Amino acid sequence: MSADNIILVGFMATGKSHVGRLIARMTGRRTADIDEEIVRRARKPIHRIFSEDGEAVFRAMERHATFSLCDGGNKVISAGGGAFAQELTRQVLLESGTVFCLTARPETIHYRITRGSPNAAVRPMLGDGDPLERIGQLLEERAEAYGYAHYSVPTDDRTPEEVAETVLQIYESSVQSLGGPQ
């Protein structure tokens, strides 16, 4: 495991994958997306893994993908929305680099998920019922876990480029002062 990775965690639709690709482009680092790796390995989309195999199987796949993607450094790693809520996965991520939790208000997340996005209907953790209510519930359940991130970066009312620049500014400051995250 290497501690020089930039790791993005947070709830779904906070921009982790997009911001991760931007940071990788800005820094010349490699990008690694845990959800994309799971889909590649399983050869099926995440919503099918949930519906056909269950959440426990998905979390095991997520853990294995995290372990392998965190091996080596100089990467920007984007984790799935629930990955950081899993203790073993969280420990590996925290030991592998500087962890940034991208945040957004429930209303912002709901808007981003439902604004005509083709994957709006396949967010398995939202299930049935009122999606805004479920978002709030999941955010509350994951709040303690997300609090373990080294830094928190709000994404409401900000472009992905602005979020990427903020993450990089914080990262560069943390590396310069005392050699790592505070």
- 13-37 pLDDT tens trace: 999 999 999 999 999 999 999 999 9
pLDDT tens digits, 91-121: 999 999 999 999 999 999 988 888 755 555 5
Does residue 179 have a pLDDT over 60? no
Fold for the domain defined by 5-176: Rossmann fold (3.40.50)
Integer CA distances (angstroms), 29 to 20, 23, 118, 122, in order = 10, 8, 29, 30
Q: Token pair for residue 83?
A: 């990955």
pLDDT of res. 2: 59
Q: Token pair for residue 182?
A: 């505070």
Regarding pTM above 0.85, the answer is yes
14 near 103, Cβ under 8 Å? Answer: yes
pLDDT of res. 182: 47
97 bridge partner residues: 5
Q: What angle do CA 150, 151, 152 make, to 5 degrees?
A: 140
pLDDT tens digits, 48-101: 999 899 999 999 999 999 999 999 899 999 998 889 999 999 999 999 999 999
